[in-house]
Amino acid sequence: MEEGSIAPSPCWCHLQSFSCGLAVNLFAGDCELWSVKSSFTVRIFSHLVSRVVVRAVRGFLSNAQAKKPLALSLHGWTGTGKNFVSRIIAESIYKRGLKSNYVHQFVATLHFPHAHSINLYKDQLQSWIRGNVSICPRSIFIFDEMDKMHAGLIDAIKPFLDYYELLDGVSYRQAIFIFLSNAGAEKITEVALDFWRNGKAREDIQLTDMQNALSVSVFNNRNSGFWHSTLIDRNLIDYFVPFLPLEYKHVKMCVRVEIESRGYAVDEDILSRVADEMTYFPREERIYSDKGCKTVDAKLDYYYDL
Ligand X SMILES: Nc1ncnc2c1ncn2[C@@H]1O[C@H](COP(=O)(O)OP(=O)(O)OP(=O)(O)O)[C@@H](O)[C@H]1O
Q: Is 12 annotated for ligand binding?
A: no
Question: What is the C-alpha to C-alpha distance for residues 247 and 290, in angstroms, rounded to an integer?
Answer: 9
What values do phi and psi take at 176, rounded to 5? -125, 130
Specify the residue, 136 or 270, whose C-beta has the smaller distance to ligand X. Answer: 270
Residue 78 CB, nearest approach to ligand X (Å)? 3
- Residue 82 or 173: the one with the smaller Cβ distance to ligand X is 82
Spatial separation of the C-alpha atoms in residues 155 and 125, rounded to whole Å: 11
How distant is the alpha carbon of residue 163 from its chain centre? 22
CB of 40 to ligand X, least distance (A): 16
Q: How far is the CB of 29 from ligand X (least distance, A)?
A: 32
Contacting positions for ligand X (CB under 6 A):
44-46, 76, 78-84, 182, 254, 292-294
**Gyration radius from the chain CA atoms:** 20
Which CB sits closer to ligand X, 4 or 79?
Answer: 79
Q: Which is nearer to ligand X, 75 or 104 (CB)?
A: 75
* Residues 42, 135 contacting (CB under 8 angstroms): no
Q: Which is nearer to ligand X, 67 or 99 (CB)?
A: 99
Distances (CA, A) of 102 to 9, 91, 215: 12, 11, 28
78 labelled binding-site residue = yes
- 81 known ligand binder: yes
80 is in an annotated binding site: yes
Q: To the nearest 5 percent, what fractions of the chain are helix, strand and coil?
A: 45, 10, 40
Q: What's the CA gap between 167 and 177, in Å, rounded?
A: 17
Rounded to 5 degrees, what are φ and ψ at 195?
-60, -45
DSSP notation for 238-294: -EEEEEPPPBHHHHHHHHHHHHHHTTPPP-HHHHHHHHHHS-EESTTT--EETTTTT
Q: Is 182 annotated as a binding residue?
A: no
Kindly tell me which of 42 and 129 has the beta carbon lying closer to ligand X: 42
Minimum CB distance to ligand X smaller for 69 or for 245: 245
Cα-based angle 69, 136, 14 (whole degrees, multiple of 5): 95
Determine phi and psi for 31, rounding to 5 degrees: -120, 45
Q: Which residue is nearest to ligand X (CB)?
A: 81
Shortest spacing between CB 195 and ligand X, in angstroms = 17
Give the shortest CB-76-to-ligand X separation in angstroms: 6
Shortest approach of ligand X to residue 75 CB, angstroms? 9
Do the annotations mark residue 63 as ligand-binding? no
> Any binding-site annotation on 263?
no
Give backbone dihedrals phi and psi of 168, rounded to 5 degrees, phi first.
50, 40
Minimum distance of ligand X from residue 47's CB (angstroms):
10
Is 196 one of the annotated binding-site residues?
Answer: no
Please state, in angstroms and rounded to a whole number, the distance separating the CA atoms of residues 73 and 220. Answer: 15
* Residue positions forming the annotated binding site for ATP: 76-83
List the binding residues. 76-83
